[in-house]
Structures are given as C-alpha cells and as structure tokens.
C-alpha cells in the first residue's frame, strides 16, 4: 500500500483519523458535483444538498460529522464516517430527530465493520430504517470515481487517491480507541471461559469413535487457543479465535477448520461445507454459532454435536459424492 501525503499526515495524529476523513468527505461534496451524484446513488434519492459542513453542533443531540444543509437550512443529510470508534449515545437515534422529514443518515465504515455496525445500529432503532443507510468507504469512493470517469476531473482523481489510501491504511492498521468497556475485566473472563470450553471439548472429542489425536496437540495461537485432531479422514482444528470473531460476518468466537488428510485446504471440502451451511462457512472454516443464555455445559454440548454433525455430513458427501 502506498502512503499518500494525507495518510502520512493523518498517521501522526492517530486520534484524528476520522476527523481527517470526514473533513475530506465534506470537501469532496462541496467541491465536486460528481461526489454529489455518487451520494444520490448511495442514498437512492433524486437530489442532495450542495452545501456541507463538519461538526455542526445541535442543542442537545450531539455534533454530526458532516451535515448537508438544504436551501432552507434544514439538515437533509447527515454523514457519520466511522473507522473503529464506537457509536456515541446520539447515534443514530438523536440524529434522526435532527434531519428533515425526508432526510437521511449515511454511515460510512470499513468493509470489515459493516456487519457488526449494522447489527448495532438496528438494535438501537429497533430494526432496519429507511432513514439510515450503512455503506463502506470503499463503495462510496468507488461511486465517486465512476461519476468522475464520465467527465474526468484530474483534481478530483488526485483527491480520491489521497482519501482512498487514508481509508485503506486505517482499515488495515487501525485499532479502535480503548474505551472503559474494552478494559473491563469481564472481557478477560469471557476470553478465558472460551479457552476453557475448548479444553473441555478436547477429551470428549477424543472419545468419539471417528476421531484420532495421534501426533496432534493443543496449541495457543496468535488470536486464541485450540487443538488439532483428525475426524474421519479430515485434518481438523477446533479453536477459539478472536480475529475470526471480529472479521467474519457471522461473528462467532468458536471455529472448526476442516482440511484434507494433510490439513491442507480443499476446494471439494469447501464446496460441501458451503452446501451444508453457507451462512457460517468461509472456505474451509466453519463458525459454530453460540446462543444467548447458554451455560458452559450447554455450549460444550452444542459445539461437540455440531463438530460431529459437520464432519459426518462431509464424510458422507466425500465418500458418496
């Protein structure tokens, strides 16, 4: 990834990444009609404001990142640019009180955050809202680029390159600012509980007639804790993985990897795994969904049953397919 001047400057003020990006969005919308056309596209409307301001304070409903004002001074569009910072208590509920009757709120976030951000926002507004649009930085900037290709402006092309590189840098390298909830010791307890659950699954799977632990071991990993085993003729690992918990769309901490005899990935296994459960299958990884209210015993039983069911299904398909 190349490091543009904008990304370089912003990296020296890490806490201001979002402010730099949002100011850039306001600039693009004020300066270039192609950006406004892209905004119409992403919001699904026929018109958007031509004037945008950053950090416009309200009396009691917070300070939106970017506000598009209509000809009467009404807040027709609010844009919230997110990387990894948490939603504030005003977002989006109180912002909905600020926009005009036909106004909309656009949240921009990294691709990897869209799933969790959508869930969080929909919880706050009790379901999907036609007033709230959630999209990625990449999609919005790509739409602007497409509009610019119709009647090319080299200045806009240069500006897009700058902000694209800033967003890519933050997407790949950014860490959410630590909050009190991040530092809560309960987070450590939850993580240790998941590791304990994995350990308690180990002896149970060892007793399964179709498992083989010869030459394998339990091992820590960069993002968690797990163990290797063979199930039928598959090379498997069952693990607690904080990274997959974050980046995968199904957001579960427990993962089963299923490879060939030598543990290498297999397109055939991936195909049959996707056929088994496309929502929770990612290549040769299968995310085991836990449910609210499960105690430790129930979670272990659920994981064991799912491991056996998945591997039995794959064995049947590979044998008879």
Average pLDDT (258-280) is: 94
Residue 15: is its pLDDT beyond 70?
no
Two structure tokens written together for 144: 């602007």
pLDDT at 247: 78
Residue 218: is its pLDDT beyond 90?
no
Residue 133: is its pLDDT beyond 70?
yes
Q: What percent of the chain has pLDDT over 70?
A: 92
Q: Which residue has the tokens 């370089």?
A: 8
Please indicate whether residue 166 or residue 272 has the higher confidence score (pLDDT): 272
Average pLDDT (281-303) is: 96
pLDDT at 220: 73
Please indicate whether residue 304 or residue 248 has the higher confidence score (pLDDT): 304
pLDDT at 16: 61
Please indicate whether residue 24 or residue 308 has the higher confidence score (pLDDT): 308
Residue 271: is its pLDDT beyond 60?
yes
Evaluate whether 135 touches 167 at the Cβ level (below 8 Å).
no
CA nearest neighbour of 106 among 53, 63, 62, 67: 67
Average pLDDT (265-276) is: 95
The strand pairing partners of 224, in sequence order, are 221, 241
Residue 121: is its pLDDT beyond 90?
yes
pLDDT at 288: 98
Residue 14: is its pLDDT beyond 80?
no
pLDDT at 17: 67
């Amino acid at each position: 990834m190349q490091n543009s001047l904008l990304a370089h400057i912003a990296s020296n003020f890490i806490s201001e990444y979002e402010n730099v990006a949002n100011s850039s969005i306001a600039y693009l919308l004020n300066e270039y009609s192609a950006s406004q056309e892209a905004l119409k596209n992403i919001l699904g409307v026929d018109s958007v404001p031509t004037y945008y301001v950053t950090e416009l304070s309200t009396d009691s409903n917070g300070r939106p990142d970017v506000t598009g004002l209509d000809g009467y001074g009404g807040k027709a569009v609010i844009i919230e640019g997110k990387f990894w910072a948490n939603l504030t208590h005003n977002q989006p509920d109180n912002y909905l009180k600020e926009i005009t009757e036909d106004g909309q709120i656009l949240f921009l976030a990294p691709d990897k955050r869209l799933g969790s951000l959508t869930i969080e926002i929909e919880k706050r507004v009790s379901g999907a809202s036609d007033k709230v649009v959630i999209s990625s930085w990449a999609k919005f900037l790509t739409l602007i680029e497409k509009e610019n290709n119709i009647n090319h402006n080299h200045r806009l092309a240069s500006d897009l390159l700058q902000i694209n590189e800033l967003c890519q840098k933050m997407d790949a390298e950014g860490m959410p600012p630590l909050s009190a909830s991040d530092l809560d010791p309960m987070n450590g307890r939850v993580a240790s509980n998941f590791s304990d659950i994995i350990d308690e699954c180990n002896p149970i799977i060892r007793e399964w007639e179709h498992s083989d632990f010869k030459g394998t071991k339990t091992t820590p990993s960069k993002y968690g804790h797990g163990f290797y085993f063979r199930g039928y003729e598959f090379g498997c690992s069952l693990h607690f993985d904080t990274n997959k918990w974050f980046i995968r769309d199904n957001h579960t901490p427990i993962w089963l990897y299923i490879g060939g005899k030598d543990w290498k990935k297999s397109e055939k296994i991936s195909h049959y795994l996707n056929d088994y459960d496309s929502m929770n299958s990612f290549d040769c990884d299968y995310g085991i969904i836990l449910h609210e209210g499960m105690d430790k015993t129930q979670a272990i039983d659920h994981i064991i049953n799912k491991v056996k069911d998945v591997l039995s299904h794959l064995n049947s398909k590979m044998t008879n397919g």
